[in-house]
Every structure is written in C-alpha cells, then in structure tokens.
Amino acid sequence: MLTSRRLETSDSALKNIPGAEPHSRLDPWWWLVVLVAGIIAILSITRPDPYWRIILFVRDGIGVTAIITVVSFILMLFVGMLGGLGRISKNKAINLITTLYVELVRGVPLLVQLIWWYFAFPVVIQQIGRWTGISFLAAYRANALVLAIFGFVFCYGAYMSEIFRAGIQSIPKGQMEAARSLGMNYFQSMRHVILPQAIRVILPPVGNEFIALLKDSSLVSAVALADLTRRGKEFMSANFNPIETWTMVALIYLVMTLFSARIVNYIERRTKFER
Amino acid sequence: MNGNNEPIIHIENIHKRFGKVHALRGVSLRIQKGEVVVIVGPSGSGKSTLLRCINRLEEYNSGKIVVDGIPLDSAQNINAVRQEIGMVFQSFNLFSHMTVMDNLVLAQKIIRKRSKDEAHKVALDLLKKVGIPEKINAYPSQISGGQQQRVAIARALAMNPRIMLFDEPTSALDPEMIKEVLDVMMALAKEGMTMVVVSHEMGFARAAANRIIFMDEGQIIEEAPPDQLFSNPRHERTKRFLSKVLDH
C-alpha cells in the first residue's frame, strides 16, 4: 500500500519535469504576433487609402509567397533526408555525390541559382532537345513557379542535408547497434529507431530554415514571379508611395514570420522528451 | 553435421585490426549449446571485440564464424544470425523515445511478425520475469540503470534467441544495482540458455560459468572451468591478472 502510494507520487512528479508542461499553454511571444497584426489592422482602418488598397493589390502575391514556401519546404524535407543519409553512407559513390552536391550548392548565392534555373536551365534543355532530336525537349518553355520551387528545393536541400546529417549523427551509436542486434536491417533501424529521435534534434534548425525560406522567397521577384515583393514593386511604381508600400509589405512579411516562429516553437515543445 | 557435438558457436582463427592495432590475433573458440562462457581479461585485451564479432556488429578481417550452422558471410545470413542472438550492452541502449513496452514490442512486430496482442503478452511475461512489470509505461530515462538493464535483457529475450551475449552488462551500474541484473542472468543460465558473457564479476563467473576464457593482447591465453582457473591458473599472465582482480 505504502509502496504503491509512493510510486504514484513519483509518477505524477515526472509529468511535471521542465519542458514537458501541458502543451495547451501558449507561450508569451504570441502577443508580438497580435501586436503586428493589430498595427496592420489599425493602419488599414484609419487610412484605407493607401494601406487597404495595398493589401488588396498584393493579396495574390501573399498566396504565391505562401505556396512557394510551403511546397518547397515539404519537398526539401525529402531531399534533406536523402542527402543526410547519403552524407553518412558508407557507400563511397553515394557519399561522394551527396558531398559534392552539398559543397557546390553552398558555394553559389541563392539569387544566382534561381536566375540560373529560370534563364539558363530551359535553354540547356532546348539545346539538348535539338541535339538529340527529341521535340518536346526542344519546345520546352520555362514555368516560373515550377523552376522557382525547384531552385529553392535544390539549394535549401543542401543545407537541410547537413541538418539531417548532424541530427542523425547526434544519436548515440548504441541505438543503431541495439536495433541491428535485434535483427532489424539498416532501413528498419533508421525508420523506427534513429529518425524518430533525430527528428526531435533536427526540429529547431529545420524550423529556422522554414522562416529563412519564407524570407528568401522574396528573391523570386527577380525571375518574373508575382510574389508579395514583386506585387509591392508593381504597386509602388504605379502609385509612387514608397514609404507606405514597403512598410506594409514589411509588416505582412513580419506577421507571417512571427506566426511561423510561434508554430515552430509550439511543435518543438510538444515533441520534447527527456533523454 | 555430427549431431550434438557440433558447437552452436564456432569461431575459427579470427583476426581483427583497427588501423594499426591488431585487436584479435587468431582467436578460435567452440561453444556448445547450453554452455555459459565468461570471458575475462584486462581492458584492451579484445574480449568485447570478440563478443561483437559473434553477431557481426564488428567486422573481422579474416577467419570464420559459424553460428547454429549459419556462416556469417552474407548480409542475409548476418540478419538471420542476429535474430537468433540476443545482445545486452554495457550502456543498455534502450530506445529512448519509446516506453519500456514499445522497446520490447518493436522488433517482435517487425522481425517476428507477431500481432500486437501476442507481442504485448510476450513483453509482459518477460517484464514479470525480470521483476519490473510495473514499469511497462515508463520511459528509459525514468527508471534506474539496473531496471534499464533488466528491460534490455527482456527486450533481447522477447525475440526468443538461442544465444545471449552480454557485453560488460554491469560495468555502468551503481554497486547496489549490480545484484538485480546478475540475478536475472543467473536465472537465465539455470534455464539452460547458451550465454557468452564479458564481465569483471568474478563472483558471477565462479557461480554460473561452465568455462572461463582468459584473454590478453587479442589472444586466448587460457580456458578452464572456474574452479580450476581461479585456484590453479597455469599461465603467468593469468596469475598476474587474477591476483589483481581477486585480492580485495
């Protein structure tokens, strides 16, 4: 009786270890998101011209920015996982290819990469089509959205590979050995034992990558995509009010990044566990 | 195949190098079914390396190992052999993101293709056997080292292995927890499990082992039943080692 009581108390004490609080509690930085959203609302209500007009004008640009960011992010998680596994692979060819990929991509500015994919890559495809006589390659037309997403996935995938590699390598070697000694093969061990633990290590830097990507997506305005930044530029050149336009564009980016940061923080707190 | 005389573990002239270090220098060993073999020796003598070669966690450079009639040569065979061998590590290596129950169930479901109910039943029975059924929903970080090691033993047993390997199972434990782990191992030995144990626990070796292997500098120096080896070692190096570990 006495021992069972003691067990109960120790179990309930364990639920309150730091970092494992009930996750319904919102963290205090949400007020910053509310503050920035509030400023946007106040500006558009008190001075609908030009602020509300700006919002209506750039609305579709917000959608493009969101689509590029979310789609690229999901795809780059896969690239990052494959790249990370490739970087720790004992197979020399796979290791060489992924290492080369990471080193090359990290050495070229993102803007240059995006421009290359949009302006140079289609020409390369057309040339190949002409040389080989394959007509649908020769008639290839650039799709700005697809190539922009491709460019982001290609570039961020390299950074993501390094994050996955570091995350996987941070899991003690004994975990893999224990899984293998139970008869699981490499991929079963990775899937059920290593990756679920690595994800928790990887989550904070991956969250940061999402926010960095959201901001970097403004670079696509250089390759004929009507994202938030591009739409801002268009509104400005039609109305000549740089202060209002760029302040509003900055505030919209800010509310999106702050909101994302809070979501990342929430997921992090939910998946935290004691080692 | 000559029936019962065929050893369940047959190690022949194993060599292993780590870079310039020659860790195993021609080790040969035959272990019969149901035998309990304890390997002792100074640190760096290659005893853990030898143990890890048996389920190929460590690759060896030359030589041959056959476990239960299966030679350790192809990836397929290595996985087949690993399914017959349970391994217990010095640092427990429980899966830290899973509860005790999930630790015991995972490989049963994936490798043995057992249903959830069946795997749970096996797990619960084994946790009762190692004396901690109440920790079924705890995470590894929430239980003591001794309890973690007993869970690790139960996890290995859940695969119904024919052989159990123990790599210094009590070396990372506080003194008061060593006994609870050794008790579980002793019970296993009495049930007739084939066991290969690397350990410094001379008391356990004396009580449970059929045979003690003394290793030094990558070679087997001497092997004998415990009474004989402890009271009457033949080699000078064995005497020196035993005088250091037994005299206190």
Q: A7: pLDDT confidence band, cut at 50, 70 and 90?
A: very low
| Residues of chain A neighbouring B159 (CB-CB closer than 8 A) | 182-183
pLDDT at position A142: 82
Top pLDDT among A228 and A19 is at A228
Strand partners, B246: none
Lowest mean pLDDT among A7-11, A211-215, B8-12, B132-136: A7-11
**For B86-96, what is each residue's pLDDT tens digit?**
999 999 999 99
Q: Does the pLDDT of residue A64 top 90, yes or no? A: yes
User: Could you tell me the two tokens for B60?
Assistant: 């060896």
Please state which CATH class domain A62-225 belongs to.
mainly alpha
Question: How many A/B residue pairs have CB atoms within 8 Å?
Answer: 70
Cβ of A274 and B142 within 8 Å? yes
Give the three-class secondary structure for A61. helix
What does pLDDT average to over chain B?
Answer: 93
Q: A6: pLDDT confidence band, cut at 50, 70 and 90?
A: very low
Question: What sections of A22-133 are H helices per DSSP?
Answer: 30-46, 48-87, 92-106, 110-115, 121-132
Q: Are B80 and B132 in contact (CB under 8 A)?
A: no
Q: B247: pLDDT confidence band, cut at 50, 70 and 90?
A: low
Residue A139's Cβ-count burial label (10 Å; 0-12, 13-18, 19+) is exposed
pLDDT at position B4: 58
Q: Does the pLDDT of residue B193 top 90, yes or no? A: yes
Cβ of B93 and A14 within 8 Å? no
**For B107-146, what is each residue's pLDDT tens digit?**
999 999 999 999 999 999 999 999 999 999 999 999 999 9
- Flag whether residue A14 sits within 8 Å of chain B, measured between CB atoms: yes
**For A94-128, what is each residue's pLDDT tens digit?**
999 999 999 999 999 999 999 999 999 999 999 99
Q: Does the pLDDT of residue A75 top 90, yes or no? A: yes
Measure the CA angle with vertex A234, ends A231 and A237; round to 5°. Answer: 150
**Among the listed residues B106, B117, B104, B108, the one whose alpha carbon sits nearest the alpha carbon of residue B148:** B104
Q: A5: pLDDT confidence band, cut at 50, 70 and 90?
A: very low
Share of chain A above pLDDT 70, in %: 89
pTM, to two decimals: 0.83
Q: What are phi and psi of B22, to 5 degrees?
A: -95, 90
Q: B248: pLDDT confidence band, cut at 50, 70 and 90?
A: low
- Flag whether residue A177 sits within 8 Å of chain B, measured between CB atoms: yes
What does pLDDT average to over chain A?
Answer: 88
Q: A16: pLDDT confidence band, cut at 50, 70 and 90?
A: very low
Q: Which residues contact B192 (CB under 8 A, 6 or more apart)?
A: B34
**For B42-62, what is each residue's pLDDT tens digit?**
988 999 999 999 999 999 999
| ipTM here | 0.92
Q: CA B208 → CA A64, A243, B84, B186, distances in Å?
A: 71, 84, 22, 6
Give the three-class secondary structure for B212. strand
A50 CA: distance to closest CA in chain B (Å): 53
pLDDT at position A133: 85
Q: Are B67 and B84 in contact (CB under 8 A)?
A: yes
Cβ of A175 and B155 within 8 Å? no
pLDDT at position A273: 59
- Flag whether residue B85 sits within 8 Å of chain A, measured between CB atoms: yes
- Flag whether residue A196 sits within 8 Å of chain B, measured between CB atoms: yes
* Test mutation, B70, B95, B122, B151, chain A, max A CBs within 10 A: B95
Torsion over CA of B159, B160, B165 and B166, rounded to 10 degrees? Answer: 80
pLDDT at position A190: 95
Lowest mean pLDDT among A139-143, B187-191, B216-220, B243-247: B243-247
Comparing CB atoms, the residue among B57, B83, B97 nearest residue A197 is B97
d(CA B248, CA B245): 7
pLDDT at position A10: 42
A84 CA: distance to closest CA in chain B (Å): 21
Question: What sections of B43-99 are H helices per DSSP?
Answer: 47-54, 75-84
- Flag whether residue B144 sits within 8 Å of chain A, measured between CB atoms: no
| Mean pLDDT value of segment B153-172 | 96
Q: For chain B, give the number of residues.
A: 248
Q: Does the pLDDT of residue B230 top 60, yes or no? A: yes
CB atoms within 10 A of CB B182: 20
| Mean pLDDT value of segment B96-100 | 94
- Flag whether residue A132 sits within 8 Å of chain B, measured between CB atoms: no
Q: Does the pLDDT of residue A15 top 80, yes or no? A: no
Q: What are phi and psi of A145, to 5 degrees?
A: -65, -50
B208 CA: distance to closest CA in chain A (Å): 24
Give the DSSP per-residue string, A232-272.
HHHHHHHH--HHHHHHHHHHHHHHHHHHHHHHHHHHHHHH-
Q: Does the pLDDT of residue A14 top 50, yes or no? A: no
Convert B211-243 to b/e letters by CB count within 10 Å (16 or more is b): bbbbbbebebbbbbebeebbeebeeebbeebbe
Q: Are B67 and B163 in contact (CB under 8 A)?
A: yes
B161 CA: distance to closest CA in chain A (Å): 9
**Among the listed residues B62, B49, B41, B54, the one whose alpha carbon sits nearest the alpha carbon of residue B10:** B54
Measure the CA angle with vertex B135, ends B131 and B138; round to 5°. Answer: 150
- Flag whether residue B150 sits within 8 Å of chain A, measured between CB atoms: no
Domain ranges of chain A: 62-225
| Residues of chain B neighbouring A184 (CB-CB closer than 8 A) | 107, 110-111
Closest-CA residue of chain A to B82? A183
User: Could you tell me the two tokens for A206?
Assistant: 């991956």
Cβ of A7 and B110 within 8 Å? no
d(CA B220, CA B47): 9
Sheet containing strand B219-224, strands side by side: B85-88, B163-167, B194-198, B36-40, B211-216, B219-224
Evaluate the CA torsion angle A7, A9, A14, A20 in order and state its sign: positive
pLDDT at position A74: 97
**For A204-237, what is each residue's pLDDT tens digit?**
999 999 999 999 999 999 888 899 999 999 999 9
Share of chain B above pLDDT 90, in %: 90
pLDDT at position A222: 87
Q: Where are the beta strands (DSSP E) in B130-175?
A: 163-167
| Residues of chain B neighbouring A177 (CB-CB closer than 8 A) | 57, 87, 89, 93
| Mean pLDDT value of segment A32-39 | 94
- Flag whether residue A19 sits within 8 Å of chain B, measured between CB atoms: no
